[in-house]
Structure 1
């Protein structure tokens, strides 16, 4: 039997990108963990329940199924390294251990790491080694991968132990963050723009404009994205489609089915089958 690190397919992907996109990537989540090293200042980043600005030289650790959008100034070139890691593969590698890279798990919160100059140089150097290896998945490439993860693990541990906070928000961003927190806390309820406006004692049109200004997506769309991200997570845990529909406050199966297929691209039953443990 092969050691689990020699599985078929791509256990991780790694890329360097420098471009000047016309539009931001839409708010999204995925079932892989993402390590996002930005070399450009980011404005209006959405990360779980926060809207914030993130300075260059920050490593963003994004767990699976965490809604996020990394927006930037479209007038400047946008430079970053992006690593996506399949958690099923990583779980196989660390089976039998408890705490290895625990911050990448789907129940974890995102982490922002303000890297020192030395940490930044070391991590970029290691990433470049891996990029040179290309799509090879062998003992050498896996060795380089885990050397990189050791450096990142050290930076994460240091950030947590020192309780560093690189969040930089203004009062309006904080209000949008409060809206997102409210949505997350009531993900199993029938949430609407009106119910959110009532909770904050604000006009529905006003909060819709405010949310779109900083989140670059409509409030209604964000509610649907949040629910579908939660739905994917629950389906992967083994809940039935009917159970997930009811848990997330959908009184109509047809509405749940239509929303899921529109956002995810496949039916909930197909997603559940494809991700059966």
Structure 2
């Protein structure tokens, strides 16, 4: 299997082919804004040194950390600097993972059965990390006759390994502290997520937290790496995708997500997801 050197290209390949892709990255490419996509993502850090904002949670990234992110969770890699940051990112289309699962073994379990109190971040000790890298190399080395079956077999083995690890680890880490560089931003994130369906404006946030608009914007951007408006929009789109998958109408969806009119919802959703909410609902019904 081809190892991509760009996470963006790997993600595009995964979505276009409804398959899976592998990116082994050493240096930083231009980071994506707070974003969501129609693929599961496994993010394994080899060198650490960065920070993840996933929905309303911050995580510092250390060597050996692994993240499970589903297709409804907005995320953004922050604290971009000059350090080399080696990591492996696997993008998997949910339909493909479902196709290689069985009636009694759901390989997407680690993405779909993480309750809200459980973290996205887990840690592979050196032995488990070695096992993970071995399975990644097994996928990457597949070539020649039967490549597709070799790739599928290796991915199946990897996902069985990761789901077993997930089930054994999640109860041990559910109380793990989420780290952040600014307690005020934690409060802001919590407030936004509790009031996401309401008319959230910078003025209202400033008034509620007794902070000037400029200071509020500055601490939020410096801590999260994204702006308040981009964060709010990304969270609303994430919720919209989930509601549309559950069968809600487009009208119900944009009202529940806090968009003040359909035109704004249509524009934001189409830009973030690549298709209109109506088409998205048709494809995922």
Q: TM-score range by the shorter chain?
A: 0.7 to 0.9
**Cα distance in 1 between the residues matched to 2:147 and 2:18:** 8
Choose from 11, 21, 26 the match for 2:19: 11
Segments of structure 1 that go 5 or more residues without pairing to the other structure are: 1-7
TM-aligned CA distance change 1:237 to 1:137, over 3 Å: farther
Q: Tell me which residue corresponds to 1:48.
A: 55
Q: 1:72-221 counterparts in 2 under 5 A?
A: 72-94=79-101, 96-97=103-104, 101-105=108-112, 108-109=115-116, 110-133=119-142, 138-163=148-173, 169-170=179-180, 172=182, 174-221=183-230
Provide Cα deviations, 1:116-160, integer angstroms capped at 9, x if missing partner. 111111101110110111697633322211211122123223322
SS of equivalent residue, structure 1 residue 149: helix
- Alpha-carbon distance, 1:39 to partner: 1.2
TM-aligned CA distance change 1:20 to 1:86, over 3 Å: closer
**Cα distance in 2 between the residues matched to 1:116 and 1:224:** 36
**Cα distance in 2 between the residues matched to 1:247 and 1:157:** 33
Q: What RMSD in Å do the two structures reach over aligned CA positions? A: 2.7
- Alpha-carbon distance, 1:206 to partner: 1.5
**Cα distance in 1 between the residues matched to 2:147 and 2:237:** 32
1:54 touches 1:168 (CA, 8 Å); kept in 2? no
- Alpha-carbon distance, 1:199 to partner: 3.0
Q: TM-score, normalised by structure 1?
A: 0.84
Residue 257 (str. 1) matches residue 266 (str. 2): yes
TM-aligned CA distance change 1:212 to 1:77, over 3 Å: same
**Cα distance in 1 between the residues matched to 2:38 and 2:46:** 25
Choose from 24, 34, 37 the match for 1:27: 34
Provide Cα deviations, 1:76-115, integer angstroms capped at 9, x if missing partner. 1221111112123333444644865423128755521111
Choose from 240, 250, 273 the match for 1:241: 250
Residue 38 (str. 1) matches residue 38 (str. 2): no
Q: Tell me which residue corresponds to 2:10.
A: none
Segments of structure 2 that go 5 or more residues without pairing to the other structure are: 1-15
Choose from 51, 58, 69 the match for 2:76: 69
Q: TM-score, normalised by structure 2?
A: 0.82
